[in-house]
Amino acid sequence: MSDPIADLVIRIKNAQASKKEQVTVPYSKFKEAIVKIMKENGFVTKYHKKKDSQKERYDLIIDFTEKKVAHFKRLSTPGQRLYIKSSNIPRPLRGFGLVIVSTSKGVLSGYDARKKRLGGELICEVW
């Protein structure tokens, strides 16, 4: 798999399109940080890490809210990275949407990155 974050985005979009209440993705700290920000903003009810007994790896189990994710798009890809200053971080839907940014202080929402005056790589946008 060349882009695990795009895989996370597609799995969440497909699960919501088929009206699933939960989705399982392979675990990584970066994916957990993205899902944590989505939980803080009300797009995810809960998530937890679970060890897969058949395979020697962990899975991330994500439960959704009734609030459907209408738009979930990967902005920065392995072929084209998008870096941005803190003053130019976009505000999707005039502040009602969410942008996730990878900064030097970790993965933050666009709002928190602007507040802390940190720029970085645009990961995805959600609304």
pLDDT of 112 strictly over 80: yes
Strand order in the sheet with 44-52: 22-26, 57-64, 44-52
Q: Which domains does the chain have, with CATH numbers?
A: 4-64 (3.30.1370.30), 72-126 (3.30.1490.10)
Three-class DSSP category at 67: coil
Phi, psi torsion values for 88, nearest 5 degrees: -110, 10
* Per-residue model confidence as pLDDT tens digits over 18-75: 999 999 999 999 999 999 999 999 999 999 999 988 888 999 999 988 778 889 999 9
What pLDDT is attached to residue 39? 94
